Amino acid sequence: MISQTAEYALRVVVFLGALEGANATTRQIAAATQVPEGYLAKILQNLGRARLIKAQRGLHGGSVLARDPASITLYDVINAVNPLPRIRNCPLNLPSHGTTLCPLHRKLDDAMATVEQTLRDCSLADLLKQREGSIPLGDLGINAAAATKAAEAVFKVRKPVQLTVSAKPRRKDK
């Protein structure tokens, strides 16, 4: 239903929301959300363009939510990175359908409209305050210090990837 990019973006804003206004570095966000660091940069750019997050460079820099979590909906986040598809005209380009959707495509578009409305009705604050069952991203939502410490711990456990570059190109066997 939603793309992997949208899922990643949702993880990012939930994590940043759990930090309650504290900055998080790209490494911390990647570690806590399990979003590949290289891909995370693209997601952060899109969220920044949509004015959902702010980024600050420098020693105490990082990313932080740009708005109150109560004013950010799940729809806002998804729409910033990969808008949900809607059916506006006949996908088959049938002249007889014109601008009116057939019953099948009308039903599919109605379902997407329902999904959109559900996402518009749920704010980031709604997710963060829910304490029954599991908490988004595990126990990271407890406080900013715990979230940051957990993210750093996850990152430090991972071993850096070593890349080796060979001076000689590989030969293809015949």
Whether pLDDT at 44 is above 80: yes
- The yes-or-no verdict on residue 133 having pLDDT over 90 is no
Residue 109 counted as domain residue: no
Domain for residue 139, yes or no?
yes
**pLDDT range class, residue 172, cuts 50, 70, 90:** low
Q: What is the pLDDT of residue 136?
A: 56
Asked, for residue 135, whether it belongs to a domain, the answer is yes
pLDDT digits (tens, 9 = 90+) for 7-18: 999 999 999 998
- What pLDDT band is residue 160 in, cutting at 50, 70 and 90? very low
* pLDDT greater at residue 133 or residue 17: 17
Give residue 132's pLDDT: 57
Average the pLDDT over 146-156 and give the result.
50
Confidence of residue 131 (pLDDT cuts 50, 70, 90): low
| Total number of domains in the chain | 1
Higher pLDDT, 153 or 52: 52
What amino acid is encoded at 95 in this protein?
P
CATH number for the domain spanning 33: value is 1.10.10.10
Q: Terminal CA-to-CA distance of the chain, rounded, Å?
A: 45
Burial bucket for residue 81 (CB in 10 Å: 0-12, 13-18, 19+): buried
What domain range includes position 77?
4-84+123-157
**What is the C-alpha to C-alpha distance for residues 98 and 108, in angstroms, rounded to an integer?**
17
Residue 36 lies in a domain: yes
Strands (E) located in the chain: 53-56, 62-65
Look at residue 34 and tell me whether its pLDDT is greater than 60. yes
pLDDT of residue 94 exceeding 50, the answer is yes
The pLDDT of residue 107 is above 80: yes
113 occurs within a structural domain: no
Query: Is 92 within the bounds of a domain?
Result: no
Beta bridge partners of 24: 63
Residue 174 within a domain? no
Q: Residue 28 belongs to what H/E stretch?
A: helix 26-33
Q: Is residue 131 a part of any domain in this protein?
A: yes
- The pLDDT assigned to 159 comes to 38
pLDDT confidence band for 137 (50 / 70 / 90): low
